[in-house]
Structure formats: C-alpha cells, structure tokens
Amino acid sequence: MKKNRMLTCITLAALLSQNILPLSAAAEVLEKNVQTEDVTSSEVVESESSESEQTATEETTETPIQQDSSESEDVPVEEEHVDENVVPHARAVPAGMEITDELLQEIKIYNMTDNVGAEYNTNGINRIENGAAVKLQLDFNQVGTYQSGDTYTVPLPDYIGLSGIDITLTGSTSAKATVDAANRQLVVTFTETTTDPNFTINILTYLKVEAGIKPIVTLDTAGKTAKTYTFNAYEKVEDIKFISDKNVWGISGDIFYNLSRSLSGEQFLNITNSAFTTIENNGIQLALTDPDKGITVKSYYVDVKGNPILDTEEILVDGTDYVVVENSDKKLSVKVTNMDQEKTYVVSTSKEYALQETTASKYTAPDKTLGRWSSGNLTYYNADSSSVLSSYYSANISNKGSQNLKNDGIAGTMTSAQLISGDKYRVDLLNKNDRFKYAVKAGDTFTITSDNGQPITDYLLSIYDVNNTNVAESSFEIVSTGSENVLTIRAKQDIVLSQMYVEATVPQNKEAVVLSAENTMVNAGAKYEVLYNPYIEKISVINADFGGTAWGNSNAASTNSKNAKIHLEGTTSEPLNNVKIKIDHPSYFSVREMQSLGSSPKSYTLGKDYTIEKISDTETIIAFTTPITSSIDYSLVFNYVPDGLDKTETIPSGDSAVESTVTFSVDGYEDIPPVLVHSYLKERDYSEAALQSVGNVNSVGFLVNARNDSYDSLIVTSDISRMEDTAASYKIYNISNDQVKSIAHPDWKLYDYSSLLTNTEVKLGDADYPTVTYDKDKEAYTFDFGETSNRYLIVWERTNNWVNRSNDTIESTVTGQEETVTQSFQTTPVTPIDTSVLEKDDTFLNVVQHTFTTKNVDADKYKLISPSFDITLSGSSKAVVETASIAIVTSSGATIPEDEYIIVPKADGTGISIQFKEGYVLTENVTLTYNSISSQSGKVSTTTSVKSDSLIGYDNYQLSKLSNSVDIEYVAGDMVTKLVSGKVLSYNTVTEAPLGNVAFILKNLDTGTEVSYTTDEAGLQALTGIRTGNYSLVVTEVPDGYTVPDEYLAGKELKIVEDTALNEFKIPLTPKENKETVKGKDSTIYVGSTWDKEDNFVSATDKDGNTVT
C-alpha cells in the first residue's frame, strides 16, 4: 500500500510538472491516498519535493530566516525505523496551507527606554511614557514538519504600534515575517521545508494609547504560555488647570487637579489669594457679589493627555467624599478623603468680588496749563504705592508646589470726566471695568458740583447693574440740595453696579467750568476736581508764562503742550478779519515760522492765508490775509539766532525770564491790551552744549556746535579704544540751519528716522570736510573743522551690527568744552532667526517638509561670515534628515551651490549641521528647506540654531528657533518611504576593471528631486541617506574614449529598495573603436618633374570614423 501511494505521488508530480493535471485534482487524489495510510516524514518530503515554492506577496518588509550554515547537503541520511504504532505530525497536502498547530511558545515585552532590555512586569502595572519604544520577543518551538509556503498567523497585542517597526528573525529556520496591519497580526511564511522549527522573532515597535480612553490598558499575548501585561501610559501634562468663562475680580470657574494622575489617598487642594490681607490693610474693602454661592466637587477619569473623560463624571458628596476645610476670602481648602489616582478632581467655585469702600485711592488733578479742557481722575487703588498692586490666585496640591491660576490687577480709574461738545459734559462716577464691579450700599451718595457756580441742567442718569440694566429710576433717587450747581444721587437699596455716569449741561458764562465729584464709597466722601475747562478769549495768548525757546530753525509746533500759544477763534458768522500780530522780541530770537495752522475742514497755509515778516532784529509781524472762521493756535516758540549770544551765555531758562510782547490788531476789536510773554521753560528739556551725544542700536551720534555759532577753531577728538573686537566707521553730516529744512533739539537725536541725513553728508574733498587724523597707539581720531560756523553730526557705526553687548563705547571731546562726552551703543540687537515651520508631505505619510528662514541679513553691516545651521530633530517618531532634499535659496531667488557647504551628521544621530566654507559670506536672507523621514508613528519637531563668526555676544536662545510639532501617524500599507543606502559602480566592459570619473544625475521619479554625483577613481559612488522609490540614472559625462549605452544617456530607470544588497547599480563603459585610417596610392616620378604629397593621398578618417579632408 505504501508503494502504491509513493508511486501515486511520483506520478502526480510528473503530471503536475507537465501541466497535465490541475493542482485541485492532484489534491483530491492525494487526499484519498492518505486517509488511512501511515507514512514517515521522509516519505512526505520525497513526495512533495517537486512542488515549486510559493512566494507570498506582502505590502510590508519580509525578513527571511536563513538555514544554519553548519548543515551540509552531502551528509547521507540513514533510513529511520518507524514505529507503526506512532503517528508523527505530518501533512501530505499541497504547500501554502495555513498552519493551525501552536508554533508560538510565548511573547515577551521588553523595556527599550529607561531600563533597556528588562522584561515588563506581568504581576503589576507598568508605567510607561506614551509612544515609548518597546520590543516584542516571539519564541517559536514546535515538533513537526512544514512545507515551503506554509503560513502561521500570530495575533499581535492591542496598543502596539504597527507602523514603521523593525522585524528581525534569528534561528535555524528559513522563513519570512510580515505584518498584516489591518488584522493586527504577524504572518510567518516558511521559505523551505522545515522540520521542528525553533526560532525567535524580535519586533522593535512602540506602545501607544489614544486620547479619549482610560490610559491603563491590558495587553494579552498569544502562545502556549499566554501572558498579560498591564500598562499605565502617561504624557507630560500640567497637574492643575483653571477654566473659566467669566472675566471677574475673584475666582469663578473650575479648578481641575491631579491631571497628571500622580496623587492618591487623602489629598488637599488649597486655593489662596496671596494679597487679600495686604489689600484690606491698604484701605480697600471688597464684598462678594453673591455670598450664597457654594462649591461643588466632581471627579472624572482622564485620558493620557490629561483630558477629562466626560461620561465618567461623578458628583462627590460633601462630608463623605470631600470636606471643605476652609472657605474664606483668603483661602479655599478642600480635602478629598480617598483620591483615585486615575481621576482628576474638579472644584467648582464662584467668588466674585466688588469694591465696597476704599481709602487707598489716587487722585490726579486736571492740568490747568494746557489752554484747553483737561480731566482729572480718581483711582480706587494707589497704583504708585509700594504695596501689592495685584491679587494672585494660586493653587497648591500635595508635594506639587504652587501654580498661579490667575492674576487680578486692582488699580483702575473709578471717577473721571470729559467735555462732550459745547456746554455738554459727562462725569463717570463709577467707571466701567469689564472685570471690576461696585457694591453700593443703601444710602451711599454720589455728588457732582460746578465749583464756579454755573448751573447743572438737562442731566441724564445712566446707572447699570451687573446685568447691564439701567436701574437709575428703580434703585436711585435725586437728593434736593437747594443749589442749581450741585447734583446729588442716593442709592435706595444695596445693589452691585457695573457703571454709573451722568451727562449734563454746564454753561461757560465767561468763566472756567470746574467740575468736582464726591462719593461716600471713596475716602468718606472727599471732594475731587475731575474737570477743568478754561474760558479763553477769542483773541488771546494761552500760557503766556511759558514761551518756548530752542536752537535750530524748526518750523513745527512745539511738542510741549504747555508752551505759549496765540489763540484766534472766529466763526463763519463772526469771522476775524485783517488779523495782524506784532511780536517784539530779543534780537537773538526769531519767531518760529509755522507752515500751517488749524485742521480740516478749515486750515490756513503760510504764504497763502498769512505771512510772516521780520521787520527788524527785534520785531516780527504775522498778518492774515484770509478771514479766520475757525479756532486756531499759533505755537509761540522762538528759535535761537546763531551768534546772537556769546558762547559763554546760555539761552534764557530757569528763572531768567526774557519778555516778549504780543500786540493784536483785528477789524472790529478795539483796545486789545498787549500781552507779555515770558520766553523760557522752567525745566528746559534740551541742551545747547557744543558737543552732545546719543546712542542708538546700530550707531552713536555726536552733535557738534548745536547753536550754529562761529568758531575760529573747532576740533573734536574721538577715542574708540573701548570698541573691543568690533570695528567702527564714521560719517560726517552738515546739518546747519542753511542745510536742512527744519531742525530743533529733539530732531537730531532721531536722525535714524528722519531726513536729516539725506543729502547732507560731507565727503572727503568737500570744502567743509575736516582734517581727519588717526593716532594708532591711542586708537583715537581727530576731526579738525578749523574756522567754521557749521553744525555737524558725526555718526559712528559698527562695521558689523551683529553685536549684543553694552560695553562698546566711544569717548569724545571738543575744544572749549572741558567735559568728556561718552556714549555707548544700545543693546537691543536684532536676530537672524525668522520662522521655522513644519508641514506634512502630501504624498508620504512619514515625510515632513521643514522650512527655516532668516531675517535681517544684508550686504552692508548684517553679513553672516562662515555661517552654519545646526538642526536638531526631536520627538518619538525617530525622524532623520533627508540630506538629499536640502536646498538653500536666497531671498533674490538664487540657489546656493552644494559645494559651498558641507553636511555633518551629529554624533548622537539627532540631526545635522550645515557648515559653510570658512570665509563664506552670506549677504542676504535665505530659506532653508529639507525633509525629515520618520521610521515610526509619533511626533517630530525641529530646533534650528544659527552660528557665525559675525554673531558676537548673543545667548543661545537668541539664535535658536523651535518649530511647531507634527504628528506622524501611519500603518503598514500606507504610502511611506525610508532612507537606505546603496552604491553605483562604473566599469570597463572589456576588462571588467573599475573606471572612475563618470558623472551622473540620480532623479527621484516620485518627488522630482535630482542629485548629481561623480564616481571616484575606483569607479565607486556611495549612496547614503537615499529614499526608497523609483529613480532615473542619467549619465552626463564619461572619460574620453568611452561610450555608454543610450538608455543611460536617456535615463536608466532603477528602483531603490529597503534591502541594501539590492541597491547596487553598474554603469557599463565601452572603449570606442579606433577608426583612424589613411589610404594612399603609388606614383611614378621622373627626373625634372615636380611632386606634391597630395598626389599620393586618397582618403583618411579620424578615430570616430569621420572623413578627414
């Protein structure tokens, strides 16, 4: 019977090999023959030896297990005696069947992060960072024989990542392993007939628990020895979070704590107000807007990101689950009696406060020197005091320290006033503050007084509660005082307000309007002036005691609002006609010639509507040819006349009043008395020193001869020895009165932002250029201007502005001024760092596009010499830089050639450094782009740092930029790529010897990226960090005398795969055939005849076979 079965097997094999018998029919024959037969293993192997191997096609990487090399195919096999009473494990069925025997012994899960190589505990809970690397070790051990193509499936545990994983196999069995991600299983396929398989598969992967579920998860493993692992996944989250949708003074909202799941048992949450006692001690009384509101405590399970899982809400019971230890203004303390570590606990509270009374207010009076209306104001807390200005709510939980929840500033304006228009005013008795409210008690009064006796009429009360309802009529009443100039409002009940203001009419009556306010909530009802509106005659001088003075030739209005002004006020019905203003002044003053007056819709222009004529050194007339129909002010500021005073005399200031007289002449107005103007500032805000300085970020300026006075000799010396290793250069500008349109003392310090330096530079060879000498030993420059009356500006600039330090200083002196003027460059440096942005690739799920840009780089003083870009990749996705994708493009659109820099990988594998050649100068901004490729799911971000010989004194944080973070998520079968290696060899097809110096381009057909290479002298070009995918290899240059097949010139298509052994490509070079030929013919030469060499030439070809003539 055995012989018949063997014959059947052999016959079937022959029929199958000739394609005579279908496979299905052969299976039926075999099935009938093996139902009752006992056969040995060797017989099965013999019967199936002619079947061809099946090769499984998988989407993921297949890892083969090779047979142990110690086995020899030539060792004779002795015939084994078989006990017919024992049936060994065998199947006489076609190969490629699914194995149902339990080949898997067990699966172990190992730590690959902190305690590397240790197996995780199966008897407790393993705490693990979410996304951390783990290793699965699958041990296989089974007695039996399996055929090539047979498959065995292992279910993989939940929460184990299946994307970007590494699979390795060890043992003496030939097999391959793939991951079926859709079904979460590992498929083992035998590649040869195998007896008693004994091997191990290691899978390097990661553990990932998604958000929205409890982070404690159980992993059950398959195998003869089943195991159960419990993991508690965590991510770094804040322990405490405060959430509120109310902007109030106090604390109202939900305080979540234990979000990091680190506390258990009896725990306290303490919410404290660190400044409440100090606030009360400083005279502020606060009241709860709703004292009856209590607190609630709830709990939720939280996910790995610290988010509450809302459907697990549990409302805790006061006195059982928690105890309120303290609930005062200063502190809220809640004790949870038995905290579950996996839960967050939420204390919901509402402590909203309102101001009830204050004696700590700060008062600012109206400014009565402005010549217009001015408001005073009253704050409910003295913001200038040294006491605590804010109330900090902080939370504290056991052993976790304190965390600030919110900050409540309590300084703010409580009372103020304003002129609306004409005689209509508004007084804010309780200013609106979105966060702060007012707890008004029954009987509190609020009073407005017109201090100069004008009546308060047509008043409108606007009083709003916390719901923005006007409660003026329902909750307040007007108290009769018997005086028209007093308005008093009284509260009829306790109420919390958000705002209280009054609009009313107060006539001027040719007198200043002075409004005062008093409030029983503030300083026991003290009275404060809150508005001053002066009465101004239509033709007058405002602030006559503050006539302004300045050196220069400015034609602009004074920047000091207190300076004297000539006030003219007409209307269309009552215009001011033929206005003439005569100003008598000292000879060393000239009236500032303002170019325009007033504003739209009616303005007046010098030369069109009015003229300014200097009648003599001491008399100037301003004449209006256009009637004045609006209100205008002429800023009465005098410019100093150069050489008007001795150099030892200063322009009058302080108490040295200099009088000028203003006389008016206007049609219809008689006997307008002259006005004396005192031309000085009690606190002068400028200097007239012969040498002054100002420091800017990128320059230092020295002003020479501010007054434009005449000097027989003017010499400036500048010491630059304290510039350390930073070089400086200078430019000289003539900014005299006759060189610039307008200049005054504030202007020159702003030379960087004005037109002073436009067309005013003095250059070598110009008549007013000084004699400049340099003392190398002293590191000092001397600028000899000789005899001059010019005003100069010497501007020093660093030759390199990439400097962050304050000790670069220049010291200067000038003849006739004893004191040295020292000026340092400011320390507000610019940075070359602009943006760093990461975006996911549109095609490959594990590819991220990185874009880094610089800023402020230029070809002048912001050059970057020998720059480098340091790139560090972070995150759990194991991302690496694809160096072939690096491109650096300037702002003008030029791509920087690759031979200008080198790429240096970091020793720890976390990134690269792009280092430009020594001495390379970057003169414009660049955009650096590249790709990173991740080998597993997880996060990726980038820190990019800029280095350069130009950058001096910067801290590391100023030269680094952290990008946004991108999540990489993919599974087996998704469109991904990997970085691998390979090589290209160019060789002589005749000798088979390597042949170098072959240039070629490798173009990625998936991305369009092109990289140029040239094989070395040994004909080799290594390919490192190259993507898997489809490529085209185009040969661009070969050594002389060789040819390459046309397909290499057009583009030889090839494929880069994960198996680096398959990434070896050759470029065949064939020596060209030498087709040089010369053909000639015989000729007979006679004595006396002539001969020419061309007579014997027939034809010739060059080495390429081309005809030579």
pLDDT at 924: 97
Q: pLDDT category, 406, cuts 50, 70, 90? A: confident
Q: What is the pLDDT of residues 791-803, one digit of tens each?
A: 999 999 988 889 8
Return the beta strands (E) in 917-1019 as ranges.
921-922, 926-934, 938-947, 960-962, 966-968, 979-988, 999-1004, 1010-1014
| Residues near 427 by beta carbon (within 8 Å), at least 6 away in sequence | 415, 416, 417, 448, 501, 502, 504, 515, 517, 530, 531
**Can 55-66+89-234 and 539-678 be said to share one CATH topology?**
yes
Question: Among 64-68, 770-774, 777-781, which stretch is predicted with the lowest mean pLDDT?
Answer: 64-68
Report the alpha-carbon distance of residue 1068 to residue 1074 in Å, rounded: 19
Residue 3 and residue 103: Cα distance in Å, rounded? Answer: 32
Mean pLDDT of the chain: 86
Confidence (pLDDT) at 904? 96
**Residue of higher predicted confidence among 9 and 340:** 340
Any idea which residue has 């920047």 for tokens? 559
> Region 1026-1040: what's the mean pLDDT?
94
For range 862-874, the mean pLDDT: 96
pLDDT computed for residue 509 by the predictor: 93
Give the SS3 label for residue 14.
helix
Q: What is the CA radius of gyration of the chain?
A: 47
Residue type at 47 in one-letter notation: S
Assign 334 a pLDDT band (cuts: 50, 70, 90).
very high
Q: Which of 245-259, 281-295, 380-394, 637-651 has the lowest mean pLDDT?
A: 380-394
Contact by Cβ (8 Å): 1027, 1011: no
Q: Per-residue pLDDT for 124 more than 90?
A: yes
Q: What is residue 654's predicted lDDT score, i.e. its pLDDT?
A: 64
Which range among 161-165, 327-331, 409-413, 1099-1103 shows the weakest confidence by mean pLDDT? 409-413
How far is Cα 393 from Cα 332, in angstroms, rounded to an integer?
Answer: 10
How far is residue 580's CA from residue 621's CA, in Å, rounded to a whole number?
Answer: 7
pLDDT band per the 50, 70, 90 thresholds, residue 78: very low
Give the per-residue pLDDT at 56. Answer: 34
Res. 69 pLDDT band, cuts 50 70 90: very low
Q: State percent of the chain over pLDDT 70.
A: 88
Condensed to tens digits (0 to 9), the pLDDT of residues 933-987 reads 998 878 899 999 999 999 998 999 999 999 999 988 876 667 888 889 999 999 9
Tell the CATH topology of 833-968: Immunoglobulin-like (2.60.40)
Q: Which residues are registered as beta bridge partners of 986?
A: 1067
Give the residue, 466 or 936, on which the prediction is more confident: 466
* pLDDT band with cut points at 50, 70 and 90 for residue 399: low
Q: Give the integer Cα–Cα distance in Å for 191 and 213.
A: 41
Report the pLDDT averaged over residues 227-249. 90
Amino acid at 672: I
- 943 neighbors 962 (Cβ within 8 angstroms): yes
Q: Is the pLDDT of residue 920 over 90?
A: yes
DSSP string, 303-327: -TTS-B-GGG-EEPPBTTTEEEEEE
Per-residue pLDDT averaged across 133-154, rounded? 93
Q: Is the pLDDT of residue 666 over 50?
A: yes
Read off the pLDDT band of 271 (50, 70, 90).
confident
| High-pLDDT (> 90) share of the chain, % | 61
Listed in order, strand segments (DSSP E) in 191-239 are: 194-195, 198-206, 216-220, 228-234
Place of tokens 């320290």: 401
CB 275 within 8 A of CB 407: no
For the record, the structure tokens of 663 come out as 């006389």
Neighbouring C-beta atoms of residue 682, cutoff 10 Å: 12
Q: Residue 1055 to residues 55, 711, 976, 1014: CA-CA distances in angstroms?
A: 20, 84, 15, 20
Torsion sign, CA atoms 161, 167, 171, 174? positive
With CA atoms as reference, report the closest residue to 233 among 268, 195, 206.
Answer: 206
pLDDT in tens, 841-857: 988 999 999 999 999 99
Is the pLDDT score of 282 beyond 70?
Answer: yes
Question: 26 pLDDT exceeds 60?
Answer: no
Indicate whether 17 pLDDT > 70: no
Among 291, 257, 269, 245, which residue's Cα sits nearest to residue 336? 269
pLDDT at 660: 93
Q: Looking at the domain that runs over 539-678, which CATH code has it been given?
A: 2.60.40
88-101: average pLDDT? 64
Q: What is the mean pLDDT of residues 678-684?
A: 61
Of the listed ranges 34-38, 224-228, 335-339, 668-672, the least confidently predicted one is: 34-38
CATH class of the domain comprising 412-533 = mainly beta
What is the CATH number assigned to the segment(s) 979-1071?
Answer: 2.60.40.10
Distances from the Cα of 97 to the Cαs of 49, 93, 100, in angstroms?
16, 8, 9
| CA triple 281-286-288, angle to 5 deg | 145
In the structure, what pLDDT confidence band is assigned to residue 81 with cuts at 50, 70 and 90?
very low
Q: What is the DSSP string of 681-747?
A: -TT------SEEEEE-SSEEEEEE-TT---EEEEEEEEEEEETTT--EEEEEEE--TTTSS---TTT
From edge to edge, which strands make up the β-sheet containing 133-141?
A: 104-111, 133-141, 198-206, 166-171
In this predicted structure, what is the pLDDT of residue 1103? 73
Peptide bond into 601 cis (omega under 30): yes
Answer for the pair 187, 58: CB distance below 8 angstroms, yes or no. yes
Chain segment 1070-1082, per-residue pLDDT in tens: 998 877 777 777 7
CA dihedral sign of residues 817, 818, 819, 821: positive
Give the contacts of 69 (CB within 8 A, at least 6 positions apart): none
CA distance 681 to 213: 74
DSSP-assigned states of every residue in 58-102: -SS--EE-PPPTT--TTS--PPPP--TT---S---S-SSPBP-S-
Q: Please, are residues 432 and 498 in contact by the beta-carbon 8 Å criterion? A: yes
Whether residue 64 is predicted with pLDDT greater than 90 in this model: the reply is: no
Is it the case that residue 1062 has pLDDT exceeding 80? yes
Between CA 575 and CA 632 the distance in angstroms is 12
Looking at the DSSP bridge assignments, the partners of residue 803 are 952
User: What is the biggest distance separating any 2 CA atoms in the chain, rounded to whole angstroms?
Assistant: 158
Position 33 pLDDT exceeds 50: no
Overall pTM > 0.75 = no
pLDDT, tens digit (0-9, with 9 covering 90-100), for 611-626? 999 999 999 999 999 9
Q: Which residue has the higher pLDDT, 280 or 265?
A: 265
Helices 2-17 and 41-48: crossing angle in degrees, nearest 10, is: 20
Stretch 416-427: mean pLDDT, rounded? 95
What single DSSP character describes residue 1072?
P
> Shortest CA distance to 451 belongs to which of 372, 366, 326?
366
**Cα–Cα distance, 655 to 682 (Å, whole number):** 7
> Given pLDDT bands bounded at 50, 70 and 90, which one contains residue 440?
very high
Q: What are the extents of the domains in the chain? A: 1-51, 55-66+89-234, 240-355, 412-533, 539-678, 691-824, 833-968, 979-1071, 1074-1109
In the numeric block, which tokens belong to residue 57? 């096609």
**What is the distance of C-alpha 784 from the center of its chain?**
50
**Minimum mean pLDDT among 404-413, 640-649, 683-692, 1091-1100: which range?**
404-413
| Candidates 3.40.50.970, 3.40.50.720, 1.10.1840.10, 2.60.40.1290; CATH matching 691-824 | 2.60.40.1290
CATH 3.40.50.300 for domain 55-66+89-234: no
As a whole number of angstroms, the distance between CA 720 and CA 723 comes to 6
Contact 415, 522 (CB under 8 A): yes
The answer to whether 140 touches 104, Cβ cutoff 8 Å, is yes
Mark 782-817 as b/e (b = at least 16 C-beta within 10 Å). Answer: bbebeebbbbbbbbbbbebbbbbeeebbbbbbbeee
Helix residue spans in 527-575 (DSSP H): none
Q: Is 619 helix (H, G, I), strand (E, B) or coil?
A: strand
More confident residue, 973 or 305: 305
750 pairs with which residues across the strands? Answer: none
- In angstroms, what CA-CA distances link 700 with 279, 743, 803, 804, 811? 47, 19, 14, 15, 10
Lowest mean per-residue pLDDT among 16-20, 911-915, 995-999, 1015-1019: 16-20
- Tens digits of residue pLDDT in 566-592: 999 999 999 999 999 999 999 999 999
Listed in sequence order, the residues at least 6 apart from 90 whose beta carbon sits closer than 8 Å to its beta carbon are 39, 40, 41, 44, 144, 145
Q: Looking at the predicted structure, is the pLDDT value of residue 77 above 50? A: no
Q: Report CA-CA distances (Å) from 943 to 195, 869, 961.
A: 54, 10, 6
3-state helix, strand, coil in the chain (%, to 5): 5, 45, 45
Residue with tokens 């309590």: 410
Distance CA 920, CA 363 (A): 62
The band of 655, judged by pLDDT with boundaries at 50, 70 and 90, is low
Mean pLDDT score, 389-407: 65
Q: In terms of Cα–Cα distance, which of 365, 415, 407 is closest to 520?
A: 415
